[in-house]
């Protein structure tokens, strides 16, 4: 196979450039004298030719015009060649004037200089464009033509156009779309700029393969409307990554990515109280339990920005802890400790407390999978309740400033063991706050997009495998939040909390999972029912169709942050709840699931099982 990536030696490029100049000089003389050069000019021609070649050689060498990789020629390279030739032409004119002053003879007629400049410019630029086109065709002989529309008509769009043209000469950009009225009707690189109102017509009238969003910082509503139009007319929807992700500051066509469902479910950026959070975190020792999980690891990433004295990441999983260690090693904040340890191991945790003396704890360690915990209640209680109790008790014992527990919307009127175990942990933490110097704070939110166990990775894998997509029920809905957004709100709530609060986050509108699955299939360029099937498997044990967050005026109190509320929930007296939880924990040794669940239902009367064997206990 031919190696098309090998570059031609620079010396060969220089010789070809000089040969083009040689031809241009001869052509200039022929054109100037109508292909009948007088004898007097023929005598001076070798001298004139030598001067032309010498001047051009000097300008080529001094500017290194031959050093660029010809197959990657761009507009700026063409402009550079033009300017180099102009400088040489000025030098030739100056030489001719000086020669005439001393010898009273015009060695090179001005018309010759002008014609040579034009011919050399055309020749050198044509040579570069020919090499670029030939290389593109040889490298991609079977490349198919694509019709594209680019959203955005700024500097990023011009860079995108250049990257696309470098990748393939067969890419045809039909139009640029922009909301800026001042740009409408103008052109960039000879491509017309249209308003957004014209996009649907352009998609309908042309078979557009890709709609590419080149504009940076497009809001989520606009992104969704563009995606809907692209899906409607069978076009792929793609985006240009942020400038900081370009390789060495240069965009490659290979970096243009398909938009995924996570980017279409994002919401407006959260405004954090950065100064207040920084004051609380700066110079402190911060613990994160479950720190290698999706939530815990993102909390760690965000905490780094607030310059804590030390971050202690605790997790029982060796492999995920190793992976987060590799990832965070790229940050300048080097003072991070990784502890392999189980929150249910009291001796191990107390040793860590003595060694690392935490100021603030983010408790994210938990079992979260509803069906698994429904079949394993003792493990749900052992981790979610007993593990939380150990860390909370030690936080109280060693006078930790703040303890922020990460909870779930499934703790609201729980219908499954997992949700009930988290509610029991909430109750214990909240009651402990009343007798402790430590501020115990709970944060509660719904499903997190892209987290371990989320439907997004599951559906993605099923689509990649050709289907089918498995859905428990066609009417099931869930609240969703991205991992960064959830963790930002955890930091914000933790900073605002004084102790005893259960903070509820505004999760926005609930999402119908069937619609989510269909959109994921469409974004993959496939069709539901034709390329991918959706099958229904029935509700799993403990699962409910709709989830709730108590996020309404009757059940919550507002805070200064519009996305954070305080839940109004029943409070428990510490000694009573501590005794009740001890009874539940003692039942773990007997491994009698019915007795365990029955006792939890006595403590939490709103716990009503659904689609579960424990319904008989209600």
List residues with catalytic annotation. Answer: 410
Helices (H), 65-218: 75-103, 110-139, 155-167, 199-205
Distance of CA 55 to the CA centre of its chain: 52
Decide: helix, strand or coil at residue 431. helix
Q: What torsion do the CA atoms of 417, 422, 426, 427 make, to the nearest 10 degrees?
A: 10
| Cα 4 to Cα 1, 55, 135, distances in angstroms | 9, 33, 7
Rounded Cα–Cα distance for residues 345 and 386 (Å): 10
Rounded Cα–Cα distance for residues 519 and 513 (Å): 10
DSSP letter at 254 equals G
Rounded Cα–Cα distance for residues 215 and 484 (Å): 22
Distance of CA 218 to the CA centre of its chain: 13
Report whether the peptide linkage leading into residue 468 is cis, meaning its omega lies within 30 degrees of zero.
yes
The H or E element spanning position 463 is helix 455-464
Q: Quick check: 143 and 170 in contact, CB under 8 A?
A: yes
DSSP letter at 34 equals T
| Cα 64 to Cα 9, 25, 81, distances in angstroms | 13, 22, 10
Query: Of the candidates 95, 111, 115, which has an alpha carbon nearest to the alpha carbon of residue 103?
Result: 95
Q: Quick check: 277 and 561 in contact, CB under 8 A?
A: no
Rounded Cα–Cα distance for residues 385 and 400 (Å): 19
Backbone φ and ψ for 189, nearest 5 degrees, come out as 50, 40
Q: Quick check: 304 and 327 in contact, CB under 8 A?
A: no
> Position of tokens 């040489």?
88
DSSP letter at 528 equals B
Q: Quick check: 121 and 100 in contact, CB under 8 A?
A: no
> Position of tokens 């939880």?
581
Decide: helix, strand or coil at residue 192. strand
How far the first Cα of the chain sits from its last, in Å, is: 73
Query: Of the candidates 208, 295, 218, 297, which has an alpha carbon nearest to the alpha carbon of residue 264?
Result: 218
Query: Of the candidates 386, 414, 444, 464, which has an alpha carbon nearest to the alpha carbon of residue 568?
Result: 444
Decide: helix, strand or coil at residue 412. coil
Strands 502-505 and 564-567, bridge-based pairing: antiparallel
CB atoms inside a 10 Å sphere around CB 567? 19
Rounded Cα–Cα distance for residues 86 and 598 (Å): 91
Half-sphere exposure of 435 (CA within 13 A, CB side): 14
């Amino acid at each position: 196979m031919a190696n098309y990536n090998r570059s031609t030696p620079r010396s060969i490029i220089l010789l070809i450039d000089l040969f083009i100049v040689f031809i241009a000089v001869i052509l200039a003389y022929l054109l100037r004298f109508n292909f009948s050069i007088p004898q007097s000019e023929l005598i001076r021609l070798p001298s004139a030719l030598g001067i032309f070649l010498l001047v051009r050689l000097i300008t080529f060498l001094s500017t290194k015009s031959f050093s660029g990789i010809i197959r990657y020629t761009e507009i700026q390279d063409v402009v550079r060649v033009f300017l180099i030739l102009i400088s040489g032409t000025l030098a030739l004119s100056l030489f001719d004037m000086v020669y005439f002053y001393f010898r009273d003879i015009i060695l090179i007629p001005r018309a010759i200089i002008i014609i040579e400049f034009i011919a050399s410019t055309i020749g050198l630029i044509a040579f570069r464009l020919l090499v670029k086109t030939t290389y593109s065709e040889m490298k991609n002989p079977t490349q198919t033509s694509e019709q594209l529309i680019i959203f955005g008509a700024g500097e990023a769009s011009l860079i995108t156009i250049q990257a696309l043209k470098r990748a393939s000469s067969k890419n045809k950009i039909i139009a640029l779309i922009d909301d800026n009225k001042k740009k409408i009707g103008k052109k960039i690189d000879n491509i017309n700029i249209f308003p957004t109102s014209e996009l649907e017509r352009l998609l309908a009238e042309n078979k557009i393969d890709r709609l590419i969003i080149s504009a940076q910082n497009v809001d989520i509503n606009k992104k969704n409307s563009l995606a809907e139009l692209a899906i409607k007319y069978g076009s792929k929807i793609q985006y240009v990554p942020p400038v900081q992700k370009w390789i060495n500051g240069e965009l490659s066509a290979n970096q243009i990515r398909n938009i995924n469902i996570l980017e279409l479910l994002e919401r407006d950026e959260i405004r954090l109280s950065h100064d207040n959070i920084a004051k609380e975190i700066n110079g402190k020792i911060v613990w994160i339990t479950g720190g290698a999980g999706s939530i815990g690891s993102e909390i760690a990433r965000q905490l780094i920005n607030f310059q804590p004295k030390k971050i202690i990441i605790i997790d029982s999983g060796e492999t995920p802890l190793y992976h987060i260690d590799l990832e965070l090693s790229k940050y300048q904040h080097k003072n991070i400790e990784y502890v392999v340890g189980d929150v249910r191991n009291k001796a191990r945790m107390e040793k860590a407390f003595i060694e690392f003396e935490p100021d603030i704890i983010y408790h994210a360690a938990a079992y979260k999978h509803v069906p698994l915990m429904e079949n394993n209640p003792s493990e749900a209680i052992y981790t979610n309740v007993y593990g939380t109790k150990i860390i909370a008790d030690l936080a109280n014992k060693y006078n930790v400033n703040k303890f922020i527990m990460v909870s779930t919307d499934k703790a609201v009127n729980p219908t499954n063991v997992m949700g009930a175990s988290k509610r029991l942990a909430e109750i214990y933490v909240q009651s402990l706050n009343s007798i402790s110097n430590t501020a115990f704070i709970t944060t509660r939110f719904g499903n997190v997009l892209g987290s371990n166990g989320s439907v997004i990775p599951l559906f993605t894998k099923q689509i990649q495998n050709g289907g089918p997509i498995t859905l428990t029920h066609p009417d099931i809905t869930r609240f969703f939040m991205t991992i960064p957004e959830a963790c930002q709100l955890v930091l914000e709530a933790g900073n605002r909390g004084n102790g005893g609060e259960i903070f509820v986050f505004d999760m926005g509108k609930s999402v119908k999972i069937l619609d989510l699955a269909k959109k994921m299939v469409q974004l993959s360029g496939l069709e539901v029912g034709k390329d991918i099937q959706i099958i229904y498997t029935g509700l799993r044990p403990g699962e409910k169709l709709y989830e709730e967050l108590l996020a309404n005026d009757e059940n919550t109190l507002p805070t200064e942050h519009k996305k954070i509320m305080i839940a109004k929930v029943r409070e428990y007296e510490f000694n009573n709840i501590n005794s009740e939880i001890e009874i539940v924990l003692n039942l773990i040794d007997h491994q009698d699931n019915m007795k365990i669940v029955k006792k939890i239902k006595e403590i939490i009367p709103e716990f009503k099982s659904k689609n579960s064997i424990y319904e008989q206990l209600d």
